[in-house]
Amino acid sequence: MSSPASSRPSAFSRLSTALLQWIDSDHTPDGPDRMRNEPDRVDWIRCIPFIVLHLGCLGVIWTGASAFAIGAAIVLYVVRMFAVTGIYHRYFSHKTYSTSRVGQFLLALWGGTTVQRGALWWAYHHRHHHQHSDEPEDAHSPHVHGFWWSHIGWITSRRNFPTDYSTIKDLAKYPELVWLNRFDTVVPLAFALAIFGLGAALETWAPSLGTDRWQMLVWGFFVSTTFLFHGTSCINSMAHLMGRRRFNTSDDSRNSFILAVICLGEGWHNNHHRYQSSTRNGFYWWEIDPTYYGLKMLSWTGLIWGLKPVPKSIMEEAARADHQASIVAAQHAQHAHAALSPLKKVVPAAAAIAVATATSSQVALPQKAEGPAIHKDVTEQAEHGAKQNPPPRGV
């Protein structure tokens, strides 16, 4: 499929390559290694479908809105955000639970409706992010490349298009997954067509809903998918900038309630960077994690099983970190409010003690029984290789 080339390809060659890559994302005439080693460069032709996705939102000018179409956009955002977080992230990238081969294929199809390329491309980039977080090799670190590049720019760069199958051998051994990854426009196009068809059916059989085929396509596909993309990208651009750091990981990952709401629990990013193999990213009941709740419910159907808990040692580490943070907060309150009334000194200290007490009680919680795992723990391997004794950073 690839041939050696010693000189820079012509404009025509680059054009034809970009067009072919719309259909076959593994089409790399010079080889994927050479492409990955290029400097960052926006491939505008390759990005035309991505630009069209955004421009499609302007269709609301002509189709107008209806309560049903807006509701469909919201539901499809939530259902597909769950696919990004619960399937592409917590299954394909980290294998935090198990499923059958048929179940895995169904999950990959569901993930494909997110229009965030194939599961293998997604997992390859994400594992790479964990191995090189906030280092120059990290494709979407806001600290290295800036906010906009980490949010949207890196997606458009030619060097980030190929999938490095050699780094995801546990997934690349399944030809059905490789096929879905290679022809990664098939599922999104089928999904868009299904939304359009649903709109046509409602137009005919439920005219009282006030929607039609084009309105459903614009809201259910273009608007919902564009919001889904930017919601997901907030993790790349903001989860290493916004929020608090519980663990002194070697990157700058943070925990953010706002991002947890937008991304169904992915906002507990510092927790996740500390321990990637757990099915849940929210370590405490008050760290809301709708993706975990959804996966738990999915496990009751038998489609998935073997959800991995947070180990006791990590929970103890979290309790110690929270306890230490509460002492720092109490000392800060004492110094900062020295001139204020005694009540204003007591309240922050009491709050700090309450947090420390609550987190300490978590340490003694028993671990859940782990189901039989059918996969090797890929994330722990990555953790071992990349992050030994991380240097401390500011909390």
Site for Zn ion in 253-312 (CB under 5 A): 253
Query: Whose Cβ is closer to Zn ion: residue 158's or residue 273's?
Result: 273
Residues 329-358 that bind Zn ion (CB under 5 A): none
CB nearer Zn ion, residue 182 or residue 246: 246
Q: Phi/psi of residue 247, each to 5°?
A: -105, 145
104/253 with CB nearer Zn ion: 253
Enter the tokens of residue 17.
Answer: 């390559």
Closest to Zn ion by CB, 134 or 322: 134
DSSP class of residue 305?
Answer: E
Kindly state the smallest distance separating residue 140's Cβ from Zn ion, in Å.
8
Nearest approach, Cβ of residue 268 and Zn ion (Å): 11
CA distances in angstroms from 78 to 224, 290, 314, listed in the order given? 9, 10, 30
Binders in 365-394 for Zn ion, by CB under 5 A = none
Q: Which is nearer to Zn ion, 255 or 359 (CB)?
A: 255
CB atoms within 10 A of CB 15: 13
Measured from the CB of residue 177, what is the shortest distance to Zn ion in angstroms?
A: 19
Whole-number Å distance between alpha carbons of 241 and 375: 33
| Nearest Cα to Cα of residue 142 among 327, 16, 228, 269 | 269
Output 138 or 322, the one with its CB closest to Zn ion: 138
Q: Kindly report the CA angle at 279 between 278 and 281, in degrees rounded to 5?
A: 80
Of 17 and 281, nearer to Zn ion (C-beta) is 281
Q: How far apart are CA 305 and CA 294, in angstroms?
A: 13
Q: How far is the CB of 250 from Zn ion (least distance, A)?
A: 11
Q: Could you tell me the smallest distance in angstroms from the CB atom of residue 189 to Zn ion?
A: 28
The burial of 142, by beta-carbon neighbours within 10 Å (0-12 exposed, 13-18 middle, 19 or more buried), is given as buried
Q: Which residues, 172 to 231, sit near Zn ion by CB under 5 A?
A: none
> How many residues are listed for the chain in this entry?
395
- How many chain residues touch Zn ion (CB under 5 A)? 1
Rounded to the nearest angstrom, the gap between the alpha carbon of residue 171 and the centroid of all alpha carbons in its chain is 18
| Nearer residue to Zn ion within complex by CB, 98 or 253 | 253
Distance CA 189, CA 192 (A): 5
| Nearest-approach distance from CB 126 to Zn ion, in angstroms | 5
Residues 6+ apart with CB under 8 A from 179: none
Q: How far is the CB of 116 from Zn ion (least distance, A)?
A: 14
Q: Measured at CB, which residue is nearest to Zn ion?
A: 253
Nearest distance, CB of residue 270 and Zn ion, angstroms: 9
Paired tokens of 265: 């629990």
Under rule CB under 5 A, which residues in 226-255 are in contact with Zn ion? 253
How many CB atoms lie under 10 A from the CB of residue 242? 16
> Which residues form the interface with Zn ion (CB under 5 A)?
253
